[in-house]
Structure 1
């Protein structure tokens, strides 16, 4: 089922009106299948680089649709092209890629009344990756049917990426496996529990932040608390590093960059009257600005050494590069905006703010232009404030249909504009 959509598309002022055939409402059968698929993933969450069952389930469904998915070289995750070989003679046009992340989180599912709770202790799809995966799968099934009918103007690539929650993220591994070869643009969604189902949030430019991991070991001479002058006084040194380094770093870079060092763990000592020889701190470094993120390691190293040196503590620093900010490209952002408006109307898109969360979708955008939309998953009218990475996280499953419509419309609009 399809419908004609003729309109002056935003961003194309002065161009001729583009007649675009968009897929119609998803059949009840496909809707039910996608909800069931998402619930199955939700019940069987797998951590990064362990997504064997998830990979097999996606692969089996794509193969049933007559497609030929390829498991990535790293052993989990897949890439699948739709419509390849059916395009006109001549050089192949760059493809539009759709990316989903497939891993879960190492936290327990705490939903009390839910028939599809996680069956794996200490594991949960508490970030919506089961929804992202189902959206890309559903879009792939719709587009595969269009390709079978000869109605898909240009090939599309599906990317099911493992290990998004593992720094520095599975995106780099996927890119090394060749998932961006022949790709001209890439799009993705991320669940947002602050946006109503039926709507998406968009932002041109940075929409997430950079996120790195920081681990510090401090070492020195220990001793009795009665004679701190004869020791390195590591507990005090660790406390000063914890409190002074974030402030020092913030004063050495433009405040508008939003560079922030935040600790999640500090550990030292075992007795009240013994100054220890070892202390550890770990946390994250987040940054709103791409250029400041590139300067962050040198700034953080220098600040740690400076503060630790005051107390004669020797520092060992493990600075793990995570992800740069996701920076939405203007043209692809408008493509998503226009696709959503075409399917759901002008009130289905809202502006969104840059968050301090990290997302390894950013690594794809270092290679090709792309954009990420925030997919509304809140039940309209619900007043309960929910957040990601919590054990009771859940979604309004109508968001799956919205995501499928968004991606299929984007693929067709992109082909029509080229």
Structure 2
């Protein structure tokens, strides 16, 4: 977290009492650095406890209890939300300033943990393969540092910590539940980090405007008479129809929608039949529709149904599509991005800020940004020179130095919010 010796840092050292006080909080050796350095072993231990006991969406009971206990140990009073999840305020000195929020997601994925480490998941088929254990730990670390800033009388603006359930499940998305429960009512802006193993530790990826895509679950059901595989001409060949849908529907979408919209339909599950010599009478397909563009997202549902009927009509098969409107793109606010970039440059040096490409992945953080401005950044988790892992894979390895970076960055971000420039 040591900033590079830039002209800006030199200016801070000589710009007067206010800059000096700010430097004592967020600068090298300041309050934030000292607290996180002194608690880093504790934070890593918390991360490993979370990693060893992952819980699926809407089931984060033990996770919520663990985070609540850690916050209470800091002298905070977390408020539990419906079922799982919580939020907690660290009070600032100026009540005229609207609070700023930090968000961490809590749920794990239904993916086995393939790592051979002592803290690997104890829950069969469930793991933190998206780094949510790190997200929670970073926000908890920021809370530790901000409590010390508060104790020193240097925290102007109240900070709201949001620990959100069910980011991975679109039915319903946890962020939308939190918004409906009023968690961001009266909030000035909200920020989050998401682990990114394509960036080295110490790097923060940022992008103004859309940084993720819309992500919608798609379910298709096909029905036909079925029959013996020796007489396909006397049946409605469901397997043949499913093959057409699986290959041609994604291709046809790209010819009917603007290619700049980044439309992508990918299947995750196809099921039909139970034996080798009978054509089944029903089948199901499930996948995800992703769109970089909001207009394409708005028109995709009607177009999907139209194209599906066209594809299966020659085979006499009936088909229906269920399109669940999932998550809109995360669209980062320009002012909030500038604040994050300035904070990262001050914490890690100007070279630490990298341009993040727009991802086809979905993130329900978008629901907060429909209510208040904010931004999502990419937290580098790759060991420099090491292997590039991928999210949603059971062998995902996080360089735990990312916890120190993420916690310090988020804490500094909240203080930097009110630093005059």
Same fold (TM over 0.5): yes
Moved more, 131-140 or 293-302: 293-302
From 393, 410, 413, the counterpart of 2:416: 413
TM-score, with length taken from structure 1: 0.91
- Unaligned stretches of 5+ residues in structure 1: 10-15
Shift of the 17–284 alpha-carbon distance from structure 1 to 2, 3 Å rule, reads farther
Measured on the aligned residues, the alpha-carbon RMSD in Å equals 2.3
**Could you tell me which residue of structure 1 aligns to residue 90 of structure 2?**
82
Number of matched pairs = 403
Aligned residue for 1:157, secondary structure, equals strand
**Could you tell me which residue of structure 2 aligns to residue 342 of structure 1?**
346
Aligned residue for 2:324, secondary structure, equals strand
| Counterpart-to-counterpart distance in 1, 2:406 and 2:282 | 50
**Contact persistence 2:213–2:329 (CA under 8 A):** yes
**Could you tell me which residue of structure 2 aligns to residue 36 of structure 1?**
45
**Contact persistence 2:129–2:394 (CA under 8 A):** yes
Alignment of 1:37-186 (within 5 A): 37-73=46-82, 75-83=83-91, 86-88=93-95, 92-112=96-116, 114-168=117-171, 169-186=173-190
| Counterpart-to-counterpart distance in 2, 1:120 and 1:351 | 36
- Of Structure 1 and Structure 2, the greater helix share is in 2
| Counterpart-to-counterpart distance in 2, 1:394 and 1:242 | 33
**Contact persistence 1:7–1:18 (CA under 8 A):** no
Aligned residue for 1:321, secondary structure, equals coil
- Is the aligned partner of 1:284 residue 2:288? yes
**Could you tell me which residue of structure 2 aligns to residue 12 of structure 1?**
none
Compute the displacement of 1:363 (Å).
Answer: 1.2
| Counterpart-to-counterpart distance in 1, 2:400 and 2:230 | 62
**Could you tell me which residue of structure 2 aligns to residue 13 of structure 1?**
none
From 240, 244, 259, the counterpart of 1:240: 244
Alignment of 1:256-405 (within 5 A): 256-382=260-386, 384-405=387-408
**Contact persistence 2:382–2:388 (CA under 8 A):** no
Compute the displacement of 1:38 (Å).
Answer: 0.7
- Unaligned stretches of 5+ residues in structure 2: 10-15
TM-score, with length taken from structure 2: 0.90
| Counterpart-to-counterpart distance in 2, 1:197 and 1:329 | 24
Aligned residue for 2:269, secondary structure, equals strand
